Amino acid sequence: MKYKVIIEAQEEGGYTVYAPSLPGCVSQGITTEEAMTNIKEAIEVYLESLRERNIPLPEVREEEVAV
């Protein structure tokens, strides 16, 4: 399964990364590579937790907005 993630550079250094379709699934890293590795692990743990508690995946609808 694939999930879109957002990577944001932090003023104090490092990166925060989150999966918008998985509320609360956030991680960070010193480099973008580390942040991506960490979010992959966070997504795995997030999904495992949902399965263990028999909670369905959140329904998310994505659209693009032109500005």
Which pLDDT tens digit goes with each residue over 34-49? 999 999 999 999 999 9
- pLDDT over threshold 90, residue 32: yes
Q: What angle do CA 13, 19, 23 make, to 5 degrees?
A: 115
pLDDT digits (tens, 9 = 90+) for 3-26: 999 999 999 999 999 999 999 999
CA atoms of 38 and 61, how far apart (whole Å) = 25
CA atoms of 36 and 34, how far apart (whole Å) = 5
Which contiguous run of DSSP H or E holds residue 27?
Answer: strand 26-29
What's the pTM value of the predicted model, to 2 decimals? Answer: 0.85
Quote the DSSP letter at residue 39: H
| Residue 36: how many other CB atoms lie within 10 Å | 15
